[in-house]
Amino acid sequence: MKKILAILLVGIFVVSIPAASSLMLPKMAMQNISKTPVSTTDVPEWADGNITGVFALKNETGEYEILGNIFGYYGYWWGNVSGGFEGTWETLDGNQSGCFSGWFIFSLALGSYNVTGSEETGGFISLFRTNTTDMTINAVAWASNDDDYVTRYAMCSYTEFE
């Protein structure tokens, strides 16, 4: 029974790849992230709010080690369940920084990132939870580049524009 279920899930996944790639995503998700980083003073027209927080990794004891800061903007496309985002990231020591952008639907986000001053780029898939009571977002992302796959965590607060 488990083998049949696994085969069905793999089959559905393989069949859904061409269908998902043929979807026309809104233009914001397709933009090139190699442009200049977003600014905290120049709010994009499409933005419905901003996100600020930290990204981290989990060490062997299960504690978070904060690696750096993130700042970005998000915009909704279809209600409050889907939209796009773009922003900047920087390590705590200031040695590395870059941009990220992508889109989200419900609690799933897909995106890409780059590292300023290098050719390094990568993609990520993320699961996140939004708490509307205290306006926070907690996420786990699996990021990849040419050489490696890493797991990163984000703890952010968000602000909705009026």
For each of the domains in the chain, give its residue range(s) and CATH number, in order of start: 31-160 (2.40.128)
Q: Which carries the bigger pLDDT value, residue 152 or residue 35?
A: 152
Interacting residues of 104 by C-beta distance below 8 A, sequence separation 6+: 74, 82, 83, 84, 85, 110, 128
Interacting residues of 160 by C-beta distance below 8 A, sequence separation 6+: 48, 49, 135
Share of the chain above pLDDT 70, in %: 77
Tokens found for residue 39: 């600014």
Q: What is the pLDDT of residue 19?
A: 45
Q: What is the pLDDT of residues 72-124, one digit of tens each?
A: 999 999 888 899 999 999 999 999 999 999 999 999 999 999 999 998 899 99
Find tokens 């996420």 and name the residue: 139
Instruction: Determine the 3-state secondary structure of 72 from DSSP.
Output: strand
3-state helix, strand, coil in the chain (%, to 5): 15, 50, 35
Interacting residues of 38 by C-beta distance below 8 A, sequence separation 6+: 44, 71, 72, 73, 86, 87, 88, 99
**What is the distance between the alpha carbons of residues 88 and 160, in angstroms, rounded to a whole number?**
18
